[in-house]
Structure formats: structure tokens, C-alpha cells
A and B are shown apart, each in its own frame.
Chain A
Amino acid sequence: MLQFTRDRTQEIIRDPRFRNLASARAKLRWSLSIVTLIMFFGFIALISTAKSALGVAVAGSSIPLGLLLAMSMCVVVVMLTGFYVYRSNSRFDELASLLNREFRQ
């Protein structure tokens, strides 16, 4: 039984479909995480370097640039999570459950 499970693990790990799934997921996961972190900490960096520029009103309105950026970041965060969920639902779930069914036996 134990040997069986160990072999089964190695068999799954070597399966090309599993490898594709895992690496595509990892790519999506880490790239989106990095985008999110760069966006937020970049904004903090922007605040400490170009503080006064963020207080200037955007041309044609009286909404300051910094506030507009912060508000758009709220929307972007939802879009990033939405994109991840959409991608996972459409691309990964089917393959993951297929592999799950196949190797469960």
C-alpha cells in the first residue's frame, strides 16, 4: 500500500499533463502576485518621492491625481482577481478534475 502510493505520486508528477497544469498555474499565480505587489508598493514609493505631484488635479476635473490613482487601484484589484478566477475556471478546473478522477482509481 505504501509503496503503491509512493509510486503513484511519482507517476502523477511525471505525467506531462500534470506538469503542464502545474507550470501554467504557477506562471499565472506568480506573475499576477508580482503585478499586484509592484502596483501597491510602487504607489507607496510614488507617494514618498512625488508627493506634491499627486495632489495636482487631473486636467479637466478637480479630482486630484493621487485619489484618482487610488480609486482606480481598487478597480484593478477586482479585475486581477476576476482574471485569475476566470482563467482558472476556464482552463485549469477541467484538467485538474480529469487528472483527479483518473489517478484516484
Chain B
Amino acid sequence: MRVLLAVLFIAFPFAAFAQAASAAAGRGTDWIAIGMFMAIVLTTLVITYRSAGSTKSRADFYTAGHAITPLQNGLAIAGDFLSAAAFLGISALVYANGFDGFLYALGFLTGWPIVLFLMSERLRNLGSYTFADAAAFRLERTPIRLVAAIGSLVVVLFYLVAQMIGAGKVIELLFGVNYLIAVSSVGILMILYVTVGGMQATTWVQITKAALLLCGGTLLGFVVLRRFDFSFAKLFAAASSIHPKGEAILAPGGLFAEPVSAISLGLALVFGTCGLPHILMRFFTVKDAADARKSVFYATSCVAYFSLVIPILGFGAVPILMSDSSYFRVDASGQFNKITDLIGGPNMASIHLAHAVGGPVLLGFISAVAFATILAVVAGLTLAGCSAIGHDIYGQVIAKGRGSDAREVWVSKVAAVCIGIVAVLLAYSFENQNVAFMAGLALSVAASCNFPVLAMAIFWRGTTTRGAVTGALAGLFSSVILVVFSKTVWVAVFGFKSALFPYENPALFSMPLAFLCIWLFSVTDRSARAARERRAFDAQFVQSEIGITLAAEGRVMAEATS
């Protein structure tokens, strides 16, 4: 009954979308698009309703009872990872800059083998619910859980707000509804998925989205390539002959020209992926390390395939859209900028492309896919954020691991509602701010706070609690401070003339600093606790290799060696 009410509650703003559909593109009410949006919202709500019974225990709520199969989990990981920023943002970068946009996709993709080789199996063997389980395996619970939770929450909030603002803009543009209604609806939906359906619902929303995104991308790519007789040569020739930058779009350009910035961005893209809490959390949804490993292979294949499709969409949009002035804001003299005057901005390139090659039906489908993409990512982020609060802060630090399942899940659900509300409020108040820094900051913090702590705790015997906490805080604060001093905040948000930090991404500096601090403050740690933690490495090593004990016994084992 509660769910039924919720459905009505949700359906209302979406019915409002219907009234104003596609107003931005000036094509009148688009019932096909609305129908597809409604179908997606209804599908996800049915999924949530059917998962409602399975959120009683911690294992159910955080990990869907560790019962997801590798293929399902692989698709869900891809669904969790491929955000609207990847789908709309990277195709827009290719549309505007050509080759350079492709490099972003390549950076995101390169993180995956590293996740597989270094993270997935050991994480599954050492933990049960959040990545902090593995980091705190032999280190002291309270400080490690706290810094891991703070790192997670910073990443989740910045990523979430960036996604919500993007979502609000896309929905506003597609349907002409008020931005606040758009953002609130996304917020309400993600709170519902997480609180009612937990990981089970989130997983299936993500699987649905991954399937839709792969089908949608393939369909769009196929239709585009057919226009060019399935010849890349013809596609590239047509694109470079009409693009304002001409032939230059086929070669590396300005974005990666300066080596320090390029390496810094590359580090954030590759190692940030290894430290994203919502991605790491997904490895606990399968039954063992072998399944975690297999699921990363499926996920990598999906992401790689998508990385190949995205440039086709970006390059295809160039000749198809730039030759048709109806997709641009044309000024009185009939002039328009082929990149910045695209209606809704370059981020809408794929959406317009769908209309250009497939009419209103494909437009509706691709818009709905973009919407599903946003929903799946924000749901995964919310779940990761609320588990950091519920499991790491409440369950492990406040209740010291002795709280009941029901109580911890309840705290997590309350946290999910709070995170949702905070995200909506932040997305609303930052609506007209330049938020380009947010996604970059989230990745930098993931690469310089979460990843170093986890990697060092898992792989280096010498790591102590003092070192890990100092390193995590050093990585966290240095990335935040350097981003604030960089052009994207210091100049673009605060309006100063020149930036104090000359590069856009801090990872090249903050990540080594975190590793250095972990090392330095660990080797100089002569306390009895440090000696105990180094001795406990053996037990951790055995468990990480052959998963000999279950998580509950693992703690006994770690204590036993102390």
C-alpha cells in the first residue's frame, strides 16, 4: 500500500513532464518520449516493490545477500559506473574536441584492469559490506572506519551533486519542467530504491540501465554508421570537413598536450576508479572472490564496448548535426557557433543525434536511456553513502559491531533519506554555478584518499593505523585544497584573476603525498599497537589469498594474532 502511494506520488511530477514534453526542442508534446520515461520509472518501481521484502538483514540490505551472479554483477557494475557524464559528457567532448574526448573514455576504461588485478578478489576475501571492512581488517577499527567513511562520503556527495545537476538540466531541457521538480523527482526515486529495495533493487535498476544503455548506444551507433556506409574513413572525412577545427579533431589536441596535467588527469581517472566506494561495494554482492573476479571481466567488456561506441556517436554527431541549423540557436544574421550554440549545449549532442537519425521514436528512447542512466548511478551512490554512515560510522564505530542488524539497517535507511535531501538541496543551490570541478574532485579524492589506504592496508605489511589515517587525511585535504586553488574553483567559482595551482587535477601531487605519509608515519610508528598490526598481516594475507575464514571469524583471527 505504501508503495502504491509512492507510485502515485512519483507519477505526479512525471505527468507534469508530459504536459511540456520536448518543449525545449520546440517539437510539441512528444508522447513517445513520455511513454518511455513512464515505462522506465514504472519498471524500476516494480523492481523496488519486488525487492521490498529483502532488506531485513545487513547482508540483504548492503549486498543483496551476497547472492548476485557474476554476469548480473558485471552488468550492474557497468550500470553503476557508466554515468550520464560518460554517456552524454564524453560524446559531447568528442563532438567538441574530437580525439581528445576519446582519451577520457580510455582513462576511465584503464582503471578496470587495475581494479581487477589489485582490488576485487582481495576485497571480497577480506570484507563483507563496505571497503572499510578490508581496510580495517587488522588496523584499529574506530580511526580507520572514520577516515574511510569520510573519504566515501566526500566522494559520494560531490559525485551525487554533479550527477543531480546534470540530471536536472537534461530533464528540464527535454521536458521543459521546472529544474527543482526535476531534481526532486530524481531525489525521491533514488531514496525509494535504496530505502525500500536496498541493494537488491539498486542492482536490478543498474542491470536494467546497463542493458538499455548498451542497446541504445549500439542502435544509435549502428544507425549513424549506416549513414556512412559502415566506413570509418567516410565518417572521419565527413566530420573533419565540416568541424570548425577541421582535420585537427582527428589528432590529439590541447586537452592532453601539457604532460603534467595529462598525467595528473590520467592518474585520477585510473586510480580514482579503484577508490570509488559505490564500485568497490559491488564486489560484496557476489558469493566469493572468484565470482568477484568474473564480474569485473563482464563489467570491463561492457565499459570497453561502450568506450568504442561513444566516439562513433561523437564523431557522427559532427557531420549530421552541424549541417542542420535547426539544432542550433541561430542569431538574427543566420550565424551560429557549431559547438557552443547547440541547443542545450554540447552535452545534448547524443540526444539531438538520436532525433536527427531516428526521429521522435529514437529521440524518446535515447532520452529515456539517459534518464535511466542517471537513476542507476545516483541510486548506487546513495547506497554507498548510507552504508558508510550506517555500517562504518554507526555499526562499527558507535555500536562497536554489537548493534543489531535491524537497528543498523534502520540507521542506514535514515541516512539514505538524509543524503537524498542534502543532495537535492545542494543540486538546487548550485544550479547556476560552474560545477565542472565536482566530478574531478570526487575522482581525485577517491584516488588520493580511499585507494592509497586500501592498497597499502592490503599489500604492505608495514602499514599501521597511524600511517593509514595520516595518509588518508593528507590525500583528502591536499586534493580538496589543490582543487580549490585551481582554475576550476579559484577562477571559475570565486572569480579571482589567476589560479594559485596551475593544473586542473591534483592527483599527481595528492596521491603520492598520501602514499608517502602512509609510509613515513608507519615506519616511524614504534607503538605496541603498530607491532601487533604488522604481526596480524600474516592472518590477513592468508585470508586474502584463499578466503579461509568467513568475515565473522576473520575478526577472531586478527585478534588472535594480536
Return chain B residues, CB-CB under 8 Å to A18: 542, 545-546
Taking a contact as CB atoms under 8 Å apart, the answer to whether B548 and A104 are in contact is: yes
Return chain B residues, CB-CB under 8 Å to A74: 106, 109, 304, 307-308
Return chain A residues, CB-CB under 8 Å to B541: 13, 22
Contact flags B251-293 to A (C-beta < 8 A → 1, else 0): 1100011110011001000100000000000000000001001
B175 in contact (CB, < 8 A): no
Return chain A residues, CB-CB under 8 Å to B538: 9-10, 13
Interface size on A, residues (CB 8 A): 59
Using known A-B contacts A33-B117, A47-B256, A103-B548, determine if residue A41 contacts B561 with beta carbons closer than 8 Å: no
Residue of A13, A37, A77, A82 near B109 (CB, 8 A) is: A77
* Measured CA separation A70–B297 after assembly (Å): 20
Return chain B residues, CB-CB under 8 Å to A77: 109-110, 112-113, 300, 304
Return chain B residues, CB-CB under 8 Å to A64: 99, 236, 250-251
* Measured CA separation A99–B204 after assembly (Å): 35
Taking a contact as CB atoms under 8 Å apart, the answer to whether A51 and B251 are in contact is: yes
Instruction: Name which residue of chain B comes closest to A104, CB basis.
Output: B548
* Measured CA separation A25–B199 after assembly (Å): 31
Return chain B residues, CB-CB under 8 Å to A1: 560
Taking a contact as CB atoms under 8 Å apart, the answer to whether A54 and B252 are in contact is: yes
Instruction: Name which residue of chain B comes closest to A11, CB basis.
Output: B542
Taking a contact as CB atoms under 8 Å apart, the answer to whether A81 and B112 are in contact is: yes
A2 in contact (CB, < 8 A): yes
Taking a contact as CB atoms under 8 Å apart, the answer to whether B256 and A82 are in contact is: no
Distance between A38 CB and nearest chain B CB, rounded to angstroms = 11
B19 in contact (CB, < 8 A): no
Return chain B residues, CB-CB under 8 Å to A84: 113, 116-117, 293
Interface centre among B248, B251, B296 (most CB of A within 10 A): B251
Interface range on chain B (Cβ under 8 Å from partner) = 35 or more
Using known A-B contacts A36-B113, A64-B251, A77-B112, determine if residue A70 contacts B106 with beta carbons closer than 8 Å: yes
Using known A-B contacts A62-B233, A77-B113, determine if residue A55 contacts B251 with beta carbons closer than 8 Å: yes
Instruction: Name which residue of chain A comes closest to B265, CB basis.
Output: A44
Interface residues of A in 67-105 (CB under 8 A from B): 67, 70-71, 73-75, 77-78, 80-82, 84-85, 88-89, 93, 96-97, 99-100, 103-104
Residue of A2, A40, A47, A100 near B546 (CB, 8 A) is: A100
Instruction: Name which residue of chain B comes closest to A29, CB basis.
Output: B117
Interface centre among B103, B107, B548 (most CB of A within 10 A): B548
* Measured CA separation A71–B250 after assembly (Å): 13
Residue of A5, A51, A104 near B560 (CB, 8 A) is: A5
Taking a contact as CB atoms under 8 Å apart, the answer to whether B545 and A33 are in contact is: no
Residue of A22, A40, A71, A100 near B266 (CB, 8 A) is: A40
B539 in contact (CB, < 8 A): yes
Residue of A9, A48, A82 near B539 (CB, 8 A) is: A9
* Measured CA separation A39–B548 after assembly (Å): 35
Return chain A residues, CB-CB under 8 Å to B301: 78, 81
Return chain A residues, CB-CB under 8 Å to B107: 40
Taking a contact as CB atoms under 8 Å apart, the answer to whether B252 and A47 are in contact is: yes
Taking a contact as CB atoms under 8 Å apart, the answer to whether B252 and A51 are in contact is: yes
Instruction: Name which residue of chain A comes closest to B307, CB basis.
Output: A74
Return chain B residues, CB-CB under 8 Å to A40: 106-107, 110, 266, 270
Taking a contact as CB atoms under 8 Å apart, the answer to whether B113 and A32 are in contact is: yes
Return chain B residues, CB-CB under 8 Å to A104: 548-549
Taking a contact as CB atoms under 8 Å apart, the answer to whether B113 and A81 are in contact is: yes
Return chain B residues, CB-CB under 8 Å to A44: 103, 256, 259, 262-263, 266
Distance between A53 CB and nearest chain B CB, rounded to angstroms = 9
Return chain A residues, CB-CB under 8 Å to B99: 64, 66-67, 70
Apart from A5-B556, A12-B542, A22-B545: 18 A-B pairs, beta carbons within 8 A: A5-B539, A33-B114, A36-B113, A40-B106, A44-B262, A47-B257, A48-B256, A61-B232, A64-B250, A66-B250, A73-B106, A73-B110, A74-B106, A74-B109, A77-B109, A81-B112, A84-B293, A104-B549
Q: Residues of A at under 8 Å CB distance from B?
A: 1-3, 5-6, 9-10, 12-13, 18, 21-22, 25, 28-30, 32-33, 36-37, 39-41, 43-45, 47-48, 51-52, 54-55, 61-64, 66-67, 70-71, 73-75, 77-78, 80-82, 84-85, 88-89, 93, 96-97, 99-100, 103-104
Q: Residues of B at under 8 Å CB distance from A?
A: 99, 102-103, 106-107, 109-110, 112-114, 116-118, 121, 232-233, 236-237, 247-248, 250-252, 256-259, 262-263, 266, 270, 290, 293-294, 296-297, 300-301, 304, 307-308, 311, 538-539, 541-542, 545-549, 556-557, 559-561
